Protein backbone atom coordinates (compact mmCIF):
# COMPACT_ATOMS: atom_id res chain seq x y z
CA UNK A 1 0.00 0.00 0.00
CA UNK A 2 1.21 3.47 -0.74
CA UNK A 3 2.26 5.56 2.22
CA UNK A 4 4.32 8.65 2.78
CA UNK A 5 7.28 6.59 3.92
CA UNK A 6 9.66 9.49 3.70
CA UNK A 7 7.85 11.36 6.38
CA UNK A 8 6.81 8.45 8.55
CA UNK A 9 10.28 6.95 8.93
CA UNK A 10 11.90 10.27 9.64
CA UNK A 11 13.88 11.09 12.73
CA UNK A 12 11.23 13.61 13.65
CA UNK A 13 8.56 10.94 13.66
CA UNK A 14 10.59 8.64 15.89
CA UNK A 15 11.16 11.48 18.31
CA UNK A 16 7.45 12.15 18.34
CA UNK A 17 6.62 8.50 18.96
CA UNK A 18 8.98 8.39 21.92
CA UNK A 19 7.35 11.48 23.33
CA UNK A 20 3.81 10.12 22.94
CA UNK A 21 4.71 6.80 24.58
CA UNK A 22 6.52 8.55 27.41
CA UNK A 23 3.38 10.53 28.16
CA UNK A 24 1.04 7.54 27.98
CA UNK A 25 1.16 3.91 26.89
CA UNK A 26 -2.57 3.27 27.07
CA UNK A 27 -3.73 1.84 23.77
CA UNK A 28 -6.42 3.85 21.99
CA UNK A 29 -8.07 0.74 20.58
CA UNK A 30 -8.39 -1.67 23.52
CA UNK A 31 -7.71 0.69 26.42
CA UNK A 32 -4.98 -1.43 28.03
CA UNK A 33 -1.46 -0.25 28.87
CA UNK A 34 1.91 -1.36 27.48
CA UNK A 35 1.40 0.06 24.01
CA UNK A 36 4.59 -0.14 21.97
CA UNK A 37 3.67 1.89 18.91
CA UNK A 38 1.78 5.02 18.00
CA UNK A 39 -0.84 5.44 15.33
CA UNK A 40 -2.61 8.30 13.66
CA UNK A 41 -6.02 8.93 15.16
CA UNK A 42 -7.08 10.43 11.85
CA UNK A 43 -5.33 8.46 9.08
CA UNK A 44 -2.79 10.40 7.05
CA UNK A 45 -4.30 8.91 3.91
CA UNK A 46 -7.57 10.57 4.88
CA UNK A 47 -6.02 13.97 5.44
CA UNK A 48 -4.70 13.62 8.99
CA UNK A 49 -1.57 15.49 9.99
CA UNK A 50 1.38 13.04 9.93
CA UNK A 51 3.52 14.84 12.48
CA UNK A 52 0.98 16.51 14.72
CA UNK A 53 1.26 15.14 18.29
CA UNK A 54 -2.47 15.73 18.70
CA UNK A 55 -3.09 13.27 15.87
CA UNK A 56 -0.92 10.52 17.35
CA UNK A 57 -1.89 8.12 20.09
CA UNK A 58 -0.43 4.99 21.70
CA UNK A 59 -1.46 1.66 20.18
CA UNK A 60 -0.34 -1.97 20.45
CA UNK A 61 2.11 -2.76 17.69
CA UNK A 62 3.22 -6.02 16.08
CA UNK A 63 3.40 -7.95 19.35
CA UNK A 64 -0.19 -7.11 20.21
CA UNK A 65 -1.68 -6.45 23.61
CA UNK A 66 -0.31 -8.48 26.55
CA UNK A 67 -3.69 -8.20 28.31
CA UNK A 68 -6.33 -8.99 25.68
CA UNK A 69 -3.93 -10.32 23.01
CA UNK A 70 -5.49 -8.28 20.25
CA UNK A 71 -3.34 -6.94 17.43
CA UNK A 72 -4.71 -3.45 17.78
CA UNK A 73 -2.64 -1.76 15.11
CA UNK A 74 -3.47 -4.26 12.39
CA UNK A 75 -7.10 -4.25 13.48
CA UNK A 76 -7.25 -0.52 13.11
CA UNK A 77 -5.36 -0.50 9.82
CA UNK A 78 -6.15 2.57 7.85
CA UNK A 79 -9.54 3.30 9.33
CA UNK A 80 -10.41 6.27 11.48
CA UNK A 81 -10.39 5.46 15.18
CA UNK A 82 -14.13 5.98 15.48
CA UNK A 83 -14.77 3.10 13.07
CA UNK A 84 -12.60 0.72 15.09
CA UNK A 85 -13.95 1.67 18.49
CA UNK A 86 -17.51 1.17 17.27
CA UNK A 87 -16.53 -2.32 16.18
CA UNK A 88 -14.86 -3.32 19.42
CA UNK A 89 -17.33 -1.96 21.96
CA UNK A 90 -20.84 -3.32 22.37
CA UNK A 91 -22.56 0.00 22.79
CA UNK A 92 -25.15 -0.71 20.11
CA UNK A 93 -27.73 -2.16 22.43
CA UNK A 94 -27.35 0.80 24.76
CA UNK A 95 -28.02 3.25 21.98
CA UNK A 96 -31.78 3.05 22.06
CA UNK A 97 -34.04 5.74 20.64
ZN1 LIG B 1 -4.48 -2.40 22.28
ZN1 LIG C 1 -5.74 -4.90 25.20
Q: Which pLDDT tens digit goes with each residue over 46-82?
A: 899 989 999 999 999 999 999 999 999 999 888 878 8
Q: Is the dihedral of CA 62, 51, 49, 44 positive or negative?
A: negative
User: For 1-45, what is each residue's pLDDT tens digit?
Assistant: 445 555 556 888 889 999 999 999 999 999 999 999 999 988 888
Distance 6 CA to ligand 2 centre (A): 30
Backbone angles phi, psi at 8, to 5 degrees: -75, -20
- Please identify every residue whose CB atom is under 5 Å from ligand 1, which is an ion: 27, 29-30, 60, 65, 72
Contact 24, 56 (CB under 8 A): no
Give distance in angstroms: CA of 97 to centre of ligand 1.
31
Q: Which among 45, 58, 60, 59 has a CA at the least distance from the CA of 8?
A: 45
Report the predicted TM-score, pTM, of the whole model to 2 decimal places. 0.75
What integer is the mean pLDDT of 73-97? Answer: 69
- Ligand with the closest atom to the CA of 57: 1
Amino acid sequence: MATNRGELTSYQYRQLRARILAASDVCIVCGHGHATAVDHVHPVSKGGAPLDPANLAPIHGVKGCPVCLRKCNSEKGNRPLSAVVQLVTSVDWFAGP
